[in-house]
Chain A
Amino acid sequence: EIVLTQSPGTLSLSPGERATLSCRTSQSVTSSYLAWYQQKPGQAPRLLIYGASSRAIGIPDRFSGSGSGTDFTLTISRLEPEDFAVYYCQLYGSSPLITFGQGTRLEIK
């Protein structure tokens, strides 16, 4: 079983700052299978990044994804007030077929 570990658990930043969120996998994975989601309270997750680095439709270009192997990063270049939420990474793997990280809470400092 591949485990996804996100860090930090909580990130406190101010609007305008840069956010860097990490997702580490317990084994090397194919980048095509790594995605990032944003979730706000009471809402379904929203796909931000697929294939580790491709932005989903309608996602602002301040969101970017990078990484390979076991280390993946979601970067928000300049935080807007609406970006404060919980972020999850997700992997399509072997067993279980789909795994999520435990999430990073991005909160306003």
Chain B
Amino acid sequence: QLQLQESGPGLVKPSETLSLTCTVSGDSITSSTYYWVWIRQPPGKGLEWIGNVYYSGSSYYNPTLTSRVTISVDTSKNQFSLKMTSVTAADTAVYYCARPVISAWSYDYWGQGTLVTVSS
């Protein structure tokens, strides 16, 4: 059974870098023909796509975040990671990693999400 688990600090100071990891179990990160994704959700608000990454490292980012975001893959650890620089309070959100299975264009496997609060 494919499972995804986000991990990382729950509290980040303004102007610092947010770093999260999504650990994949039940399948190899290289076996997917689809892109892995990071999505976030500010408290009480809707969903926002952050970016996609393929196991080869090929990636796409939300244009509103592209200058601050890097998504990478570590195939040896079966993980992919998110780094977001120069965070502000507006980056406070639950961060999800997810993966398509049935269709390349939608996401049927999600991590439970991890809340990251940006505060001094």
What is the interface of chain A, defined by CB distance below 8 A to chain B? 32-33, 35, 37, 43-47, 50-51, 54, 56-57, 88, 90, 92, 95-103
A96:B107 contact, CB within 8 angstroms: no
B108:A96 contact, CB within 8 angstroms: no
B108:A100 contact, CB within 8 angstroms: no
A35-B105, A92-B105 in contact; A100/B113 too (CB < 8 A)? no
**Which stretch, B21-29, B41-49, B67-75, B85-93, touches the partner chain A?**
B41-49
A100:B105 contact, CB within 8 angstroms: no
Which residue of chain A is the closest to B64 with respect to CB atoms? A96
B110:A97 contact, CB within 8 angstroms: no
A44-B112, A44-B113 in contact; A100/B106 too (CB < 8 A)? no
A32-B105, A50-B105, A56-B102 in contact; A44/B110 too (CB < 8 A)? yes
Which residue of chain A is the closest to B105 with respect to CB atoms? A92
CB distance from B101 to the nearest CB of A (A): 8
Which residue of chain A is the closest to B35 with respect to CB atoms? A97
CB distance from A44 to the nearest CB of B (A): 4
Alpha-carbon separation in the docked complex, A39 to B92 (Å): 19
B49:A47 contact, CB within 8 angstroms: no
28 chain-A/chain-B pairs, Cβ below 8 angstroms: A32-B103, A32-B105, A33-B105, A35-B103, A35-B106, A37-B47, A44-B111, A44-B113, A45-B47, A45-B96, A45-B107, A45-B110, A46-B110, A47-B106, A50-B106, A50-B108, A51-B106, A57-B102, A57-B108, A90-B107, A96-B63, A96-B64, A97-B49, A97-B62, A98-B37, A100-B49, A101-B46, A103-B46
